[in-house]
Structure 1
Amino acid sequence: MYRIIAALQLNRTRVQILIGFLLVMVVVLSVAGGLVYRSISDLLIRNAESYVGETAKQASARLDAVIAQVDSISLQLVTDARIQQLLYKAKTGEALSIDQKLSVRPILNNLMALSWLIQGIELYAGDEPLYPLENQNISERIGLETATFANIKEGQLVWAETQRKESGHLFAVRQIRLEDDYLGRGGYAVFRVTDSLLDFFNTEFPAVKGSTMHLFDRHHQLVASSSPTLLASVNSTWLTSENLQGPHSIIQIEGIDYLKIIRQSTETNWSILMLVPLDTITEGLLVLKQALLWALVVGAVLCLLLLWILSSIITKPIRRLRNKMRIPVFALPQQNDEVYFNFEMNELNISYNNLVRELHQLVKTVYEKERLNNQAEIKMLQAQIHPHFLFNTLESLYWTLIEKQEEEGAQIVIALSKLFRYTIQAGGSDDWVSLNAEIDHCQRYMEIMKYRIGPRLHWQFDINPTTHDVKLPKLLIQPLVENAIQHGIEPKVGASSLLVSIRDVEMDGNSVLSIQVKDDGVGMDQEALATLKRRLEVHNQPDTASSSSGMGLLNVQRRIKLYYGDAYGIHIESSPDLGTILDLYLPYGVERNV
């Protein structure tokens, strides 16, 4: 992957700047252009929806007026006195002659002349035909459902929506109530109405280009349409539903999107559906789309030119500085005195020059340290002669005392020799030793101190056997013992005792090693004790009161903090004439490797 990036130079600063800015610009312009295009498209659709909706509202009102005209003519017919008289005679059982039945023809023709909608009128006495003479009964003619509904409406105009056997006509029925029979049911008047109810749409209302109007009854059956072939393959129930998908009601017919507007007729509860092609509404957006695309292209070209200039201002000084920083092997980098036009590049160059100066100074310092270390190593090799000379001298002194049969003095010399060997020789791993070796060293030190102090010194070691193999830094316990003898036991008049106790104890839920050095010497007053505690707390200060071995209390405290952390250290308690207690707690399993 990295090879491909390198081959395409995508790891170059200039290329990354160009690609990054270009992507940002394309994304911003695309998102902004998309939002603008969508907003304007939505605005055009809303305006068209409002305009077409108002047209559909006016068409619905016009349809209601046309239907109201049929209702008025039908009311005029059913209240005609001659019709009332004939139907009353038929209801009372009087047989009507053919002349009497044909006498209603002029009345019906006069009423049909009042409206172009009514193509024919039929009369029924009860359920049987009155005019025309040869006709079906009322239930067969308009359907049982419509007849029943007309009876329920009791004289109101009812549209036979599902019974359109004659092409090009609709049927409306009205029950005739007889005034002489206390408004009892006398028969029916059936009106054949042309289905060209929407012919007025194209002549009386301005419409959007390509829009069509369709009329559905309350059973979702198509009653009239300005373009019936458009809906030939579409479910009428789905067309008249008002379910919205998104902010607008948009449907697709034969691959073309249409804006759907539905209004209800208050007279018949029929639905007027208007369909407007979306392409007609948004055809003006084509210019906007082209303008946005051209803006994107022109903006991309200008952005590339400007970014090329900008990247050159940045990358050229970087290349010059990079060439300056390329140095031969085993050579030190040199300062760059060039001043750049770019402020940030000047700041970077200043930082580079500071780094070069510090590097030169560091190399000089390291060289000086190496020189001093080499001198110190030579001196250390020379100083190794002195311990060997000391050990040889102590060996000669030991055999001299043996020849003189001074056994006590000889044992002291041997103890002193072992003490020096333990102190001088390195044990490896930062001089970590076992607890048993450290106790042996303390024993030898006590033997020498007994020879010096005499019988008034008594000591005891109380050590848990399980702790003998515990590792700890060398010369950690002996300085505590030495401090107790020098500052507590030696100044005291009379016999004194020293107890070194080592145990396993629990501290904060963990098992730790407890080392306690307790003496009954002269002790310290509270002021001296407080001073010593403060010095132990500031363990990074030099120990000006260290013993002759160079391992005073502060030295031990510093080593403990270094190896085990600040949570561990020396705790001291003392009282005048009662002695001093030094407590030291160390964790198990801690040994710093070199």
Structure 2
Amino acid sequence: MQRKTRHFNSLRNQIFVGFVMVMLIVLLLAGITAYDRVAALLKNNAEKHIHQTAVQASGRLDALIAQVNSLTAQVADDAYVQRLLNEEKRGQKASFNQRQALLQIAGSYQSFINGAQSMEIYTTDYSRIFPMDDRSLSHRLERNWIVKADEGKGRLVWAGSDPDDPSILLAVRRISLLERSFEHGGYVVVRMQRSFFQLNDSVGADGSQDSIMLLDVDGEVVTSNLDVHLDPQAVMNSESVVQNGKESYIVVKQRSELTGWTLAVLTPLRETTEGVSILRTALLVSGIIGVVLFLVMSFFLSTMITRPLIRLMRAMRGAQPGAMRPNLMVSSTLEINELNEVYNQMVYRQNELTQVVHEKEVMQSRAEMKALQSQINPHFLFNTLEAFYWSLDEKGEEEMARMVIAMSRLFRYIISSPHQDEWVTLADELEHVERYLNIMQMRLGDRMQWEIRMSEELRSTPMPKLLIQPLVENAVLYGIENTLKPGMVKISVQPSSITDIVCVEVRDNGPGINEERLQNIKQALNGGEPVAPGRGAGVGLINVHQRLGLYFGDQLAEQAKLTVESGVGKGTVIRFGIPRGTEARHDS
């Protein structure tokens, strides 16, 4: 089973499968892209045709609305109607004969439009004077349509279906009296048949008509020639496609500015994609032919590439560690020759590296021997200082003996073996500082006083070795020794207001540092040019600052960095912070 898996994972099979997969992906992407582009093009063309149909139908609708508007305007401006409503306005009720005469006038105007079922005329108090009955306009129309007619001031308002006959649409216009400065004189209502708004007079080449739906402002169907039922609200809310069961329709809507009605032209989506099936078949056949041809070409190409590699692989298998020999095979393929040359170079390099490794092992053995020998030197120094101590103690030189033993312990603390830890506690570090100050006090006498203060809870806090002593050494050498008055060195180790930070402060009352020198030191601490060499050059400060960065890195907060404050005659104060809990992270 493992042998079959290795055979299947051969380079030739991988190249073959890789080429085939690339070809399939390319063909698939090209086919999908072409299919989508053509389908979108067909759909756009269909939508343009439908939109053109909608524009034409909307134009015909506006023409029909204009006819009704003209008819009602002529009735409203008729001289007899104006005179009759003027008399009504003055309180003179129209007689039966006057109202009967309106029948002939209405009939003459009504004959101009085939779809006009009838016309009605009302006074300002909603009483009907034609036809001759007592029906009120408020019973004929809803109140909001009357308000809209009043707000329109003579504009024709379409009020929807007739409550008495759903096949009739009502339109109302307010009549303005010309002789009374266009004062409100009454209303004219026209009843129009829905068939008047049939707009599907365009016939296609196959004899089919466009599917048109006309909706009023409330979303109710004014007229429609659809063979299927579609929800009018779905048509109103649709952006481009509406669904009816399994059938989808492309919707193009046109809104009439005169009436507020919406004209929707609908076309089945399948009619726009009939040509896509032919494209799909052509793409499928082309893809199959392309895949077959590419399979054959990929097989021959993968064989031609891998056959020389197999011969080179057999030559590599014959190479043994420690006895690698170059392969002298020559191939007709440039790339295979270069690969063989690289293999030969690798053989030469491997032989060289084997020799180098052998030499390094010899050098390492010698270095370890020297390291063992170097451990003897500090041991000899400590034993010699111990011998001096006992000799001085026997002779009664107690002060010199204390100095020698202090120096011995000082050296033991500084000179640690490679296996000793570089981390100590604050108590150990301050004990080392105290030994150094005792030695300096023996030399300077009453000229130097010192004080160490540390909170008890900080004694076991870990810190890197030899961070405080160099700063104390600076305070003694450049502060106390440079003044004739008694000097004081104060070392303070206290918790900081910052969480997990221990603040270390070394203060002296020496002559201080002048401004120029202080700026040079601060520049060096901030990564600038190092200060000029000489006495008081701040080398110890820079060393401590760099070690803080190496040990703590990004953990060193801005408030924990090493700072120097000094002035001429004001002494010098050096502060830095130690983050707590960093030893464990450093060791890990």
- 2:262 equivalent in structure 1: 271
Match of 2:432 in 1: none
Give the aligned residue type for 2:408. Answer: P
In 1, the alpha carbon distance for the partners of 2:225 and 2:292 equals 52
Aligned to 1:385: none
- Aligned equivalent of 2:77: 79
CA distance in 1, matches of 2:89, 2:381: 141
AA at the equivalent of 1:223: V
Instruction: Tell me which amino acid in the other structure corresponds to 1:322.
Output: M
Counterpart for residue 435 of structure 1: 377
Quote the residue 2:100 is aligned against.
Answer: 102
Q: Tell me the distance in 1 between the aligned counterparts of 2:334 and 2:48.
A: 59
- Looking at structure 2, the residues matched to 175 and 360 of structure 1 have their Cα atoms a distance apart, in angstroms, of 110
Contact 2:119-2:188 within 8 A present in 1 as well:
yes
Relative to structure 1, the CA distance from residue 157 to residue 331 in structure 2 (aligned partners, 3 Å threshold; closer, same or farther) is closer
Partner of 2:200: 201
Give the corresponding residue for 2:169: 170
Tell me if the contact between 1:198 and 1:226 (Cα under 8 Å) persists in the aligned partners. Answer: no
User: Secondary structure of 2:375's partner?
Assistant: strand
Q: Distance in 1 between matches of 2:148 and 2:315?
A: 102
Question: Taking structure 2 as the reference length, what is the TM-score of the superposition?
Answer: 0.57
Aligned with residue 12 of structure 2, among 11, 14, 34: 14
Q: Partner residue of 1:23?
A: 21
Aligned in 2, Cα 1:210/1:250: closer, same or farther, shift over 3 Å? farther
User: Equivalents in 1 of 2:267, 2:68: separation in Å?
Assistant: 30
**In the alignment, structure 1 residue 465 sits paired with structure 2 residue 461:** no
**Contact 2:145–2:159, Cα closer than 8 Å, also in 1:** yes
CA distance in 1, matches of 2:204, 2:162: 30
The residue aligned with 1:322 is: 313
* TM-fit CA distance, 1:206: 8.3
Identical-residue share of aligned pairs (%) = 29
Name the residue aligned to 1:295: 286
Alignment partner of 2:235 out of 233, 239, 246: 239
Q: Which runs of 5 or more structure 1 residues have no equivalent in the other structure?
A: 374-425, 444-461, 473-505, 512-594
How many angstroms apart in 2 are the aligned matches of 1:51 and 1:261? 10
The correspondence of residues 457-536 of structure 1 with structure 2, limited to 5 A, is 464-466=407-409, 467=411
1:339 aligns with: 330
CA–CA separation in structure 1 for the residues paired with 2:97 and 2:82: 16
Deviation at 1:129, TM superposition (A): 2.5
Q: State how far apart, in whole Å, the 1-side matches of 2:352 and 2:62 are.
A: 103
Structure 2 residue 243 is matched with structure 1 residue 252: yes
Contact 1:209/1:280 (<8 A) preserved: no
Q: Distance in 1 between matches of 2:151 and 2:320?
A: 112
Contact map agreement 2:216 2:260 (CA 8 A) in 1? yes
Q: What amino acid is the match of 2:291?
A: A
Q: What is residue 560 of structure 2 aligned with on the other side?
A: none
One-letter code aligned to 2:59 = A
Rounded Cα–Cα distance in structure 2 between residues aligned with 1:268 and 1:340: 87
Counterpart CA distance in 1 for 2:469 and 2:22 is 59
Question: Which of 32, 35, 47 is the aligned partner of 1:34?
Answer: 32
Q: In the alignment, what sits opposite 2:391?
A: none
Write the mapping of 1:382-397 to structure 2, written as runs, cut at 5 A. none
Distance 1:510 1:18, change over 3 A: farther
**Matched residue, 2:275:** 284
TM-score by length of 1: 0.56
User: 1:262 touches 1:274 (CA, 8 Å); kept in 2?
Assistant: yes
- Which secondary structure state, in structure 2, belongs to the residue aligned with residue 230 of structure 1? coil
Cα drift, residue 76 of structure 1: 2.2
Larger radius of gyration: 1
Find the counterpart in structure 2 of residue 133 from structure 1: 132
Q: Which amino acid letter does the alignment assign opposite residue 235 of structure 2?
A: L
CA RMSD, Structure 1 to Structure 2 (Å): 4.4
SS at match of 1:201: coil
Cα distance in 2, alignment partners of residues 199 and 22 from structure 1? 60
Aligned partner of 1:217 in structure 2 is 216
Helix, strand or coil: the match of 1:167? strand
For residue 69 of structure 1, report the CA deviation from its aligned partner: 0.7
Provide the rounded CA distance (Å) in 1 between the counterparts of 2:209 and 2:306: 60
Residue of structure 1 equivalent to 2:524: none
Secondary structure at the aligned position of 1:107 is classed as helix
Q: 1 CA distance for matches of 2:346 and 2:187? A: 112
1:39-80 CA-partner distances (Å, limit 9, x unpaired): 333333333333322322222121111111111122222333
CA deviation map 1:308-346 (0-9, x unaligned): 111101111112222233339899566554432321112
1:111 lines up with 2:109 in the alignment: yes
CA 1:353–1:250 in structure 2 vs 1: closer, same or farther (change >3 Å)? Answer: same
Q: Is the 8 A contact 1:56 1:262 kept in 2?
A: yes
SS in 2 for 1:170: strand
Deviation of 1:183 after TM superposition, in Å, equals 4.6
Which amino acid in structure 1 is aligned with residue 377 of structure 2? L
* 1:366-381 correspondence to structure 2 within 5 Å: none
Shift of 1:438: 4.8
Check whether the contact 1:263–1:271 (CA below 8 A) recurs between aligned residues: yes
Distance 1:135 1:78, change over 3 A: same
Q: Distance in 1 between matches of 2:99 and 2:350?
A: 129
- Listed as ranges, the matches of 1:139-178 within 5 Å are 139-161=138-160, 164-178=163-177
DSSP-derived class of the 1:155 partner: coil
How far apart, CA to CA, are the structure 2 residues paired with 1:338 and 1:278? 67
